[in-house]
């Protein structure tokens, strides 16, 4: 893990990766870290974040690192460990190639914590008309409130800390000035829900992308449903997606359930075992239904499908509510639609984006 000298953002780098060492106990998506991840993306290198053993990462940083194809390593017991698996590594490339030995695993990895926080995670793509009256930001407000966010979005910025007071008009003005593709804006609420959003102009108008999470209470028993009930059946999931069809023009929306640790500063990711995110529901908008040539009656016979919206071509809500594993249900749904056609219909490209 030799170091080269005089790099403006990284502490170590090669032709394959760049490493950034953070010493804070709570690592946030600051301007230096944003520039580091952007620099790696521009140079087609893997970003590697290196922290202390006790460090935690904010959801905004977790998302940015994942979107940048990055990895997280932490220092402990005189060496480095992969934060995703807990295994000791001898070099940073082992973070994506796999450890050279499985003999040394950090003691924090094994059984998931019984006191972890469940989070409804969302990703939504929606179309808007490219006209002067169009405003952006209400999509994120709707999703966060609909999934159980008890407080409205109150702040936003391009990195942490979020220093700007939230306003749909303000974020619209900034996004409009950056067309044909906006930057990515971070949003937050007083009760620790979060989102990021971006807007781009396409041949068909505007495309708004929103992704984030809403804390839902104890992982094993999210608020609003009885203990042990499949979270795909949570009424907030169905009602939020139905409202999405009523108020917006969704292309596709995906809801999943994830695990974070609860702290006084909100939910974070720390060292230790984390359950993988599980899919709960997929909403396919009218354009996807048309492009996929979906036989609704046939699909209903095998999956939990709800038809939403008026018109000749409706939207389809598919909930992973069966008894099989949630990932198994999603795989079966993709197979029934033909995976190649599904991927083509749901693929979204920010034309002219950056």
Mean pLDDT computed over 240-261: 95
Question: Residues of the chain with pLDDT > 90: what percent?
Answer: 69
In three-state secondary structure terms, 156 is strand
* Beta-ladder partners of 71: 48
209 touches 348 (CB < 8 A): yes
Extract the tokens encoding 268: 């974070």
Q: Tokens 């067309």, residue?
A: 179
In Å, the largest CA–CA distance within the chain is 64
Question: Where in the chain are the domains?
Answer: 12-97, 117-346
C-alpha of 347 from chain center: 16
Mean pLDDT computed over 319-342: 64
Give the range among 108-112, 134-138, 141-145, 176-180 with minimum mean pLDDT. Answer: 108-112
Helix axes 31-43, 59-67, angle to 10 degrees: 10
Give the range among 70-79, 106-115, 203-212, 235-244 with minimum mean pLDDT. Answer: 106-115
206 touches 134 (CB < 8 A): yes
pTM for the model stands at: 0.89
| Residue 211 pLDDT greater than 60, yes or no | yes
Q: Which carries the bigger pLDDT value, residue 298 or residue 6?
A: 298
| Residue 354 pLDDT greater than 80, yes or no | no
Q: Tokens 């939990």, residue?
A: 304
Ramachandran category for residue 88: left, alpha or beta (phi over 0 → left; psi -120 to 50 → alpha):
beta
E-state strands within the chain: 12-13, 17-21, 26-27, 46-52, 56-57, 71-76, 79-82, 88-89, 117-128, 155-157, 164-165, 185-188, 194-202, 205-218, 250-263, 266-270, 278-284, 304-308, 315-319
Mean pLDDT computed over 336-351: 54
DSSP letter (8 states) at residue 213: E
| Cα separation, 218 vs 38, whole angstroms | 34
Q: Residue 174: pLDDT band by 50, 70, 90 thresholds?
A: very high
261 touches 119 (CB < 8 A): no
Q: 12-97 has which fold?
A: Ribosomal Protein L15; Chain: K; domain 2 (3.100.10)
Selection from 49, 41, 51 nearest residue 184 by Cα: 41
| Residue 351 pLDDT greater than 80, yes or no | no
Sign of CA dihedral 14, 18, 20, 21: negative
| Cα separation, 160 vs 167, whole angstroms | 17
The pLDDT value recorded for residue 12 is: 72
Q: Tokens 């099989």, residue?
A: 324
C-alpha of 59 from chain center: 9
Extract the tokens encoding 295: 């036989």
The pLDDT value recorded for residue 6 is: 39
The pLDDT value recorded for residue 2 is: 42
Q: Would you list the DSSP string of 91-145?
A: STTHHHH--S-SS-B-TT-SSPPTTPEEEEEEEEEEEE--STT---SHHHHHHHH
The pLDDT value recorded for residue 3 is: 43
Percent helix, percent strand, percent coil in the chain, to nearest 5? 25, 30, 40
Q: Tokens 């032709």, residue?
A: 15
**What are 113-164's pLDDT values in tens digits?**
767 999 999 999 999 998 989 999 999 999 999 999 989 999 999 999 999 9
| Cα separation, 257 vs 221, whole angstroms | 12
């Amino acid at each position: 893990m030799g170091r080269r000298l005089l790099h403006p953002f990284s502490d170590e780098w090669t032709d394959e990766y760049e490493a950034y060492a953070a010493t804070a106990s709570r690592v946030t998506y600051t301007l230096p870290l944003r520039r580091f991840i952007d620099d790696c993306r521009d140079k087609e290198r893997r970003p590697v974040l290196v922290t202390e053993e006790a460090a935690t990462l904010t959801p905004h940083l977790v998302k940015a690192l994942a979107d940048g194809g990055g990895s997280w390593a932490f220092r402990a017991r005189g060496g480095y460990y992969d934060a995703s698996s807990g295994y000791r590594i001898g070099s940073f490339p082992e973070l994506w190639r796999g450890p050279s030995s499985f003999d040394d695993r950090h003691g924090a990895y094994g059984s998931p914590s019984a006191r972890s926080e469940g989070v409804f995670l969302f990703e939504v793509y929606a179309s808007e008309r490219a006209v002067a009256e169009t405003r952006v930001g209400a999509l994120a407000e709707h999703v966060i409130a609909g999934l159980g966010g008890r407080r409205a979005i109150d702040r936003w910025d391009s990195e942490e800390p979020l220093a700007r007071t939230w306003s749909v008009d303000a974020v619209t003005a900034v996004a409009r000035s950056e067309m044909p593709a906006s930057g990515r804006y971070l949003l937050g609420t007083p009760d620790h829900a979060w989102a990021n959003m971006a807007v781009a102009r396409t041949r068909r108008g505007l495309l708004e992308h929103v992704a984030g999470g809403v804390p839902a209470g104890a992982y094993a028993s999210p608020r609003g449903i009885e203990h042990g009930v499949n979270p795909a059946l949570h009424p907030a999931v169905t009602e939020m997606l139905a409202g999405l069809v009523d108020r917006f023009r969704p292309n596709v929306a995906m809801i999943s359930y994830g695990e974070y640790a609860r702290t006084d500063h909100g939910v974070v990711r720390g060292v230790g075992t984390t359950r993988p995110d599980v899919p709960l529901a997929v909403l396919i908008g009218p354009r996807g239904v048309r492009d996929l040539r979906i036989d609704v009656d046939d699909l209903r016979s095998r999956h939990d499908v709800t038809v939403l919206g008026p018109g000749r071509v409706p939207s389809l809500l598919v909930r992973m509510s069966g008894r099989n594993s949630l990932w198994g249900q999603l795989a079966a749904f993709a197979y029934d639609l033909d995976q190649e056609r599904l991927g083509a219909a749901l693929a979204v490209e920010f034309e002219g984006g950056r």
